[in-house]
Amino acid sequence: MGGGSMAKVISKTLAEVLEETADRFPDNEAIVFPEFSLRMNYEEFRGAIRQLAKGLLALGLEKGEHWAIWTQNRPFATMAQFAAAYLGAPLVVINPNYKTFDLEYVLRQSDSKLLVTIGRFKSSEYLKMVLAIVPELASSKDGKVTSQKFEKLERVVLDAFNFSPEGVSLLTTEQLFKLGVGVADHELDEAMRSVGVEDPINMQYTSGTTGRPKGVLLTSLGLVNNGFQVGEVMGLTPEDRMCIPVPFYHCFHLVLGNIAAVTHGSTMVVPYQVFNAERTIKTVIEEQCTVLHGVPTMFQRYLEVKRESPEFANAEFRLRTGIMAGAPCPIELMRAVIKELGAEELVIAYGLTEASPVLTMTRRDDPLEVRTGSVGRPIAHVELRVVDQDGNDCPRSDDSEDASAVGEIIARSIYTMLGYYKDPEATAKRVRNGWLYTGDLGRCDTQGNLHIVGRADDMIIKGGENIYPLWIEEFYSARLEGKIGIVQVVGVPDAEYGQVPAIVIEPKRGFELSEDEIKLLGDEGLPRGWTPHYVKIVSADYWPLTVTGKIKKGELSKKLTQELGLESLTERKTA
């Protein structure tokens, strides 16, 4: 099943695409950040990114070297994404919900030479957490460090918006831009020409349940073409204004948002640093946005705000399209969004980070039944199959209960990652003979639409965010070392988020653990939103086991679902 391989492949780097867009639409607004009172047209946007790239050159960042950013949805983050493409220095995007346990792992594993962080946001003390794992920073000058723990790390830079560090000498992002003044344009142009379309420019961390998070290396070839084709499906034009409230650290923002917009000369509008439904709706109205992205939970919040706020009840929306992705979409929600927000051409997308990320989309003119009952058909340059355990193609079927039609979704495309950083074994397992094995189970109907049936692995998707059970299990095993015999984390259904994590713990003999203790530890050390919603302390005879003594996670999830009285939530009909 293919998605139109006759479409032209864009053989340009992301930097070259930005240069071309700025030449064609110099006066079009490129980015709008209402919170920061920032507006730039494409000519100004290009100028700022070139200045940043030259500043990075002045710091000594070279092609192939990694640099990391740990931030919220801020202007610098958007500029960093494109500056990385000018230098061919992959940007490592770190989840802002991480705490020291997670940050330390990613910063070390990624071999990042430079870390850009913010000081504080709400209750999250980012700089303090960096200081906790890089204590040498406290006595540094301009953020230069020699760290015993992080051999590659040389500098920490602070995005100091509304924050003044006390007792720490750091280079700020404002100063980083100024460093670029001393670098000639021809030096940047020379660096830009040395970068090829198949060189990595971005690294994002993802994981299933079989190991620690893995750094996914993505190229201009995959990212540019994926973003362009996503924009084509949405029918983007230079007149479109795209509201992007989804988190920067995810491909949803970076590709379905930023790159889709830039490849079409559209405007990127970022309403707030984190998701806020009221600010988003206000921004959509005031900025006359025509495109809106989000996961189903976010769209539900949009509707609630519109319905409950007198300010927005009679507001005029110019929304035309957008993408709902990241989790199953309830039929009633899609209908309400189209009716109440006016997004009649709203589409569904499916993919994974390793595919840059989109593989399939519904189309704007698809009947509502298709847009609410499937994840659509492959986009251009994607060949997709559903295969059984022996690698044979499963038959197409319109019967949702036809077990013979269900198999693993695999895809071959120009979008496939280069590989997992420093993990050739995991790469070889995920990509075989050119085919990307998604780990998802699906069924193709006779019209070529893909239906997601389930997950071949045990990853939990909470409101569109991937939560990794093994990571949580390792966290608790480390924090409660000596007290835990067995710990298992599984997903259970939730009316609001689709899935939430639940933890089952068998304490070692002689030790007692409480639900409050487990949740407190999670709140203190796990990424925001990862703390188990349910905690169950059990004895040795509780576990469902295979004949070889392995725990059956699927059965464990079903058992918990029944015990918690959540069975009715599994019966909801979703796309």
Q: Which of 455, 479, 508 is the last residue of a domain?
A: 455
Q: Same structural domain for residues 390 and 261? A: no
Q: Which residues are within 8 A (CB) of 433 and not within 5 positions of it... i.e. 6 or more apart? A: none
- Domain membership of residue 381 (yes or no) is yes
CB 251 within 8 A of CB 352: no
Tell me phi and psi for residue 491, to 5 degrees. -95, 140
CA 171 to chain centre: 28
Q: Which domain holds residue 393?
A: 346-455
Shared domain for 246 and 171, answered yes or no, is: yes
Count of structural domains within the chain:
3
Of 247, 274, 301, the domain-final residue: 274
Measured from the Cβ of residue 6, the count of other Cβ atoms closer than 10 Å reads 7
CATH number of the structural domain spanning residue 248: 3.40.50.980
Q: Which amino acid is at 498?
A: G
| Residues of the chain with confidence (pLDDT) below 70 | 4-5, 207-211, 327-328, 455-456, 546-550, 571-575
In a domain, 329, yes or no: no
Residue 463 corresponds to which amino acid? G
- 490 and 400 both lie in a single domain: no
Q: How confident is the model over 272-295, as pLDDT tens digits?
A: 999 999 999 999 999 999 999 998
Task: For residues 208 and 128, state if they share a domain.
Answer: yes
Is residue 217 located within the same domain as residue 96? yes
Secondary structure in 3-state letters for 171-209? EEHHHHHHHHHHCCHHHHHHHHHCCCCCCEEEEEEECCC
Return the CATH number at 353.
2.30.38.10
pLDDT tens track for 27-45:
999 999 999 999 999 999 9
CA 245 to chain centre: 12
449 and 510 belong to one structural domain: no
Residue 111 lies in a domain: yes
In a domain, 323, yes or no: no
pLDDT at 547: 43
Residue 327 belongs to a domain: no
Q: What are phi and psi of 542, to 5 degrees?
A: -80, -30
Q: Within a domain: residue 308?
A: no
**Domain match, 517 and 567 both:** yes
Judge if 251 and 132 occupy the same domain: yes
Distance CA(258)–CA(353), nearest Å, equals 15
Q: Residue 210: which residues within 8 A CB-CB, separation 6 or more?
A: 457, 470
CATH number at residue 509: 3.30.300.30
In a domain, residue 281? The reply is no
Q: At what angle do helices 126-133 and 100-109 cross, to 10 degrees?
A: 60
Q: Does 1 map to a domain? A: no
Size (the chain), residues: 575
**91 and 191 assigned to the same domain:** yes
Residues 220 and 193 in one domain: yes
Q: Which of 104, 148, 71 is nearest to 525 (CA)?
A: 104
In terms of domains, do 100 and 229 share one?
Answer: yes
Kindly list the distances between the CA atom of residue 435 and the CA atoms of 132, 389, 390, 416, in Å, as whole numbers in the listed order: 42, 15, 15, 9
- Both 446 and 470 in one domain: the answer is no
- Percent helix, strand and coil across the chain, each to the nearest 5: 35, 25, 40
At residue 204, the pLDDT reads 96
Given 255, 274, 293, which residue is the final one in a domain?
Answer: 274
Which residues are CB-neighbours of 507 under 8 A, at least 6 positions away? 483, 484, 485, 513, 537
